[in-house]
Structure 1
């Protein structure tokens, strides 16, 4: 009886070693899991130390692995940031997912960033929605600081927003207001959508300055076309303000988990069609009248953009840049109507 126990043990041991594949799998599973956890921990510590060195070991809440301080922000972001400023001082670091942010809350530091060291902090980090709307960040708002950005700024400040050009469009703005007043009188006794009327008036003024005419063509169809445009812009702005996890964890951007990139491209497609039709029509008109030596009495913004596109400067505006230029200028104004 006593001799059977070691014999059974020896037979069991021998059977285990006769099946090395099963034995190896049993042993290797916890080993592999442990190694993976060690590698993940090492990478996390490496990234944390790197971001800490870049931020010069600023104070701030530690947050959680991978998501950082995102779960603790709450609805009132400004109140959360103010509470953290009271605790950590006027400048502190905040981990939002894989993004390392530096928060400043004193007038002196704000002046240092936006004025004294503005070139250093000129570049922005556009989110997924902004990249989709601005045709890959090709506009004046999200383009990186450099020769192209300075070119766009020069066009915007010297050509489009100069006092002489704005004064030259005074007649157009005045005529659009008069047309709206006449429309109100013509609808005497009928209900009027004031928001729709204001939107139509202002959008017609802006587009007259941009390309010398309205996006509506015939004013008889103004209501329906304005309504479509308003809905498209309203949806676009709503998507733009939607939180997107891919903005904080870039490795998830390729999957577009919340569909922000897809929705933004769909919402901006209608506006892009308008821009393309206007640009094509203007280029066709310019091509047909190239033999005519008589110049136009006045230029609109699209004329300036297309003329600069044709200049042999080595750096010219592409069609995508022109559309992004127009879209970003139009959209902030539209937000006041929603």
Structure 2
């Protein structure tokens, strides 16, 4: 006779297996009812990660040529939707912006930004809305940026002196550009050049630049644990270990910065804020804030300001000079405009830029072909919705491939050619309203410091073209100049540009 106990456990197991099977079957039925955008069939566990190479924006560009401007993929456990056209960018970043305004949670956001406490990675909600308001009203207001113009002028003059000293010798341009960007932003944010060799700083200049490079790389990598969470603890690529090490280095530096600023504020009665950290500390003391700004939040914002203000301008100007060295006729047109408008007896000022439409066009064309963030920063669908007749589920990660949009032949004639003339006489700008050109994004999550970035990029490029003759080093020809890129949160040249400069203005200007 069969043992009743064993029969009971068998029956229980059969019932539970039946329930599980019904659950999985019903879930599959629900999935089948969804009208998802077209895309490649995913593999078990990894989804479509096997289709993504070392340049993800280019991999997605190739896939979009097959599957269209709205594409669905699976990255491990998470659904991904990629928009690759002007129309899709407008839907995600404007029409339905409020539904796609949040951020996915990633290891980079957790470990390198004080658990999503900065402006870039914080999820949508009261904290982020307050941070955005701080940026618009305080940190990047026109009045405040104008008050810091003297800093940008002084640091630009330092750059010209350094280039003058190196005249006739091969230089790595990115090193000079990164230094001037870092000095500008550190004086605006921190109140001084914390990284001068003469300063007994807690971090050396070389170490700090390495920290910023690492921050950009780690915030842009495809960490496999972000896509397949149950193997995240294995840290198969070693990225999380690197993030933790980097976080400790930044925290040590930022603690030093805040301690120094607080000491000055306490030592002076009725202290007037002089830099952006002062402003943040003042806001942290404000009892009327909707969400209290904690010390770790001040550190997260400070790190965000330093990183964002340093990398984007240096990368863009290096790409611009690279493109001009490949096309000397464009270089000559730019010089002609500068000679006509500015003359040969002074440097270009920020107020001159609106009178230099060809220089502005070169900047726009560089940003079209070489956007610093080619897929912008990922967004997250907050609710189930429909886009273009297709179902987008809550929790879907959304990418807008501005690299593809910048090469769309239906939008741009000779889309792969560097041709600044395409912008002459056209009202297309980079301020987030023209969806064919979105180097800083658009909508609520647009880069809050774009106006500062634009000032530094335009003034730097104009003066580098105005004050120096440029040529490639080591007898390299324009045809042989390698234009490959590498991918992170920014997309710099794979091989830094080596060039030779010669001064071409009166020597007393240097």
Which TM-score band (shorter chain)? 0.7 to 0.9
Report whether the alignment pairs 1:264 with 2:243. yes
Could you say which residue in structure 2 is the equivalent of 1:16?
Answer: none
Contact persistence 1:93–1:103 (CA under 8 A): yes
Report the CA distance shift for 1:50/1:266 in structure 2 as closer, same or farther (over 3 A).
farther
Report whether the alignment pairs 1:215 with 2:194. yes
In 2, distance between residues paired with 1:78 and 1:217? 37
Could you say which residue in structure 1 is the equivalent of 2:218?
Answer: 239
Report the CA distance shift for 1:64/1:160 in structure 2 as closer, same or farther (over 3 A).
same
Could you say which residue in structure 2 is the equivalent of 1:321?
Answer: 297
Task: Select the residue among 104, 117, 142 that pairs with 1:163.
Answer: 142
Report the CA distance shift for 1:300/1:234 in structure 2 as closer, same or farther (over 3 A).
same
Report whether the alignment pairs 1:300 with 2:279. no
- Which stretch has the larger CA shift, 55-64 or 207-216? 55-64
Could you say which residue in structure 1 is the equivalent of 2:132?
Answer: 153
Task: Select the residue among 47, 51, 71 that pairs with 1:72.
Answer: 51
**Deviation of residue 121 (structure 1)?**
0.4
The two structures have a TM-score, normalised by structure 2, of 0.52
- Which stretch has the larger CA shift, 178-187 or 271-280? 178-187
In 2, distance between residues paired with 1:40 and 1:260? 36
Could you say which residue in structure 2 is the equivalent of 1:141?
Answer: 120
In 2, distance between residues paired with 1:64 and 1:37? 25
- Which stretch has the larger CA shift, 132-141 or 321-330? 321-330
Could you say which residue in structure 1 is the equivalent of 2:379?
Answer: none
**Deviation of residue 52 (structure 1)?**
5.8
Report the CA distance shift for 1:77/1:39 in structure 2 as closer, same or farther (over 3 A).
farther
Report whether the alignment pairs 1:199 with 2:178. yes
**Deviation of residue 154 (structure 1)?**
0.9
Contact persistence 1:52–1:58 (CA under 8 A): no
Report the CA distance shift for 1:227/1:83 in structure 2 as closer, same or farther (over 3 A).
closer
Contact persistence 2:197–2:205 (CA under 8 A): no
Could you say which residue in structure 2 is the equivalent of 1:288?
Answer: 267
Q: Tell me how many residue pairs correspond in the alignment.
A: 304
Report the CA distance shift for 1:87/1:205 in structure 2 as closer, same or farther (over 3 A).
closer
Secondary structure at the counterpart of residue 68 of structure 1: coil
**Deviation of residue 209 (structure 1)?**
0.6
Q: Which runs of 5+ in 2 are unaligned?
A: 316-491, 493-510
Q: Which runs of 5+ in 1 are unaligned?
A: 1-19
Deviations 1:81-126 (A, max 9, x none): 3454454443232111101112233322221110011111000114
In 2, distance between residues paired with 1:201 and 1:280? 26
Report whether the alignment pairs 1:60 with 2:36. no
Structure with greater contact order relative to length (CA < 8 Å, sep ≥ 6): 2
Contact persistence 2:211–2:246 (CA under 8 A): yes
CA RMSD between the two structures: 3.6
Contact persistence 1:232–1:268 (CA under 8 A): no
Deviations 1:232-290 (A, max 9, x none): 2223333333332101111222333332122112123222222110101111221222x
Could you say which residue in structure 2 is the equivalent of 1:278?
Answer: 257
Contact persistence 1:51–1:100 (CA under 8 A): no
Could you say which residue in structure 2 is the equivalent of 1:312?
Answer: 287
Secondary structure at the counterpart of residue 92 of structure 1: strand
The two structures have a TM-score, normalised by structure 1, of 0.75
In 1, distance between residues paired with 2:179 and 2:103? 33
In 2, distance between residues paired with 1:166 and 1:228? 28
**Deviation of residue 72 (structure 1)?**
3.0
- Which has more helix, going by share of residues? 1
In 2, distance between residues paired with 1:182 and 1:80? 42
**Deviation of residue 142 (structure 1)?**
1.2
In 1, distance between residues paired with 2:16 and 2:55? 38
Larger Rg: 1
Task: Select the residue among 174, 177, 182 that pairs with 2:153.
Answer: 174
**Deviation of residue 49 (structure 1)?**
5.3
In 2, distance between residues paired with 1:67 and 1:85? 20
Report the CA distance shift for 1:38/1:250 in structure 2 as closer, same or farther (over 3 A).
farther
Could you say which residue in structure 2 is the equivalent of 1:4?
Answer: none
In 1, distance between residues paired with 2:242 and 2:26? 36
Report the CA distance shift for 1:160/1:36 in structure 2 as closer, same or farther (over 3 A).
same
